Structure 1
Amino acid sequence: MSFPPARAVGRGPDWYRGDCHVHSVHSDGELTPEELAVRARAAGLDFMATTEHNSAAEPGAWGHLAADDFLIVLGEEVTTKTGHWLALGISPAEVVDWNHRVRDGLIGQFLDQVHRAGGLCVAAHPHAPYPSGDFLFPFHGFDVVEVWNGLWTSDRPWNADNEAALAQWGRSLAADICTGSWRPAMGNSDTHLEGQMGFPHTVVFAEELSTEAILVAIRAGRSWIAESV
């Protein structure tokens, strides 16, 4: 199977645990897809998203790793010069161009591209401590904010970068909730190395274990962030 199915058997309506920010050897991660799937299941996760930098999921790399009780969501980390963001739930044909920045005024068209494909747009680690990690795009148009990013940039489970992201999300929530345009928060590991998978992850109440149901639930805010099972 070249690519994983968009639906697993699952448990019907239930709480499902997942990590939606994961890198393999197909971008700058050190683990193979097989190793990542094993570690995700060992961490008690029901789903994970493959989010390689600026590229689609590799054909044949993930399809055989899905199971009745384990969903693999396809995605991409769009790594621009003025911030990173996740395009979750897009097909391999929907590669999002990374070569844009705030001053180009193009972010709206790329968010629309993902939304037309049925995907979800996540502002990733808005205050990551490296040049392109500082998220300069407005949150407007994004569906979710990643307020808790994992151990990729620090050996501390919760650090100043996450504190700043949480504060920025809180300010946007206060400003937008009255208009109905608010966006929920999520946590992901941003796994690149051994020992990072699932710390943290997002627990979602979804109608079924499918890409569509998981993304709908995340966008609706039927979720919370966890460190462990």
Structure 2
Amino acid sequence: MKRSAELAALEQRLGHRFDRPELLRRALTHASISGPNRDDNQRLEFLGDRVLGLVMAEALLERDSSASEGQLAPRFNALVRKEACAEVAREIGIGEALKLGRSERLSGGRRKMALLGDAMEAVIAAVYVDAGFEAARDMILRLWNGRIDSVDEDARDPKTALQEWAQARGQEPPAYIQTDRSGPDHQPVFTIEARLASGETASAKAGSKRQAEQAAARELLDRVEGGA
């Protein structure tokens, strides 16, 4: 199957030229535009998630032979979560190549974290099916390398870390209150305030409630630990 200039450019950024370019085309096809003659990327996404997980688990074990399971698990979660996949997808311009239905195009689908993360996992699977595990592994390690090197020694998500901080001091778990919602329906911005029982607060904004809660928790944790 002939490849378009757009797909050829993405192949260059991925560092993999497909023997079967239709696999890459399928990996970039969202369900909103699929049909009888066009497969979407959902099955590839399912496979790519597992390939990514195996590569990350292997890489973490190799890079820190003394780490316990309790240390490795949060690092692993930080590297394979949908947000991390979406960040990599943005860096290599997957959003511009996505095949979307009209409704998703109009609602900013090329920038949506979930769509980008899913597409990144599907692209991983496409490389795996096209050329095998080693090719997929090489691409993942190249694209994720900086993240693997810099993943925190304790990569617990900020909400978990803040809750543990509070519990260690006999406090109730932190509360998260939505204080504002702005922007259009297709691109909302949420403002969340994280609040400790002892009175400390911090606020953050993000495109999803979960991301805003995590950012507010991180800000509050930095504040209380810095003042400890």
Same fold (TM over 0.5): no
Structure number with higher helix proportion: 2
Normalised to the residue count of structure 1, the TM-score between the two structures is 0.26
TM-score norm. by structure 2 comes to: 0.26
Whichever structure has more strand as a proportion of its residues is 1
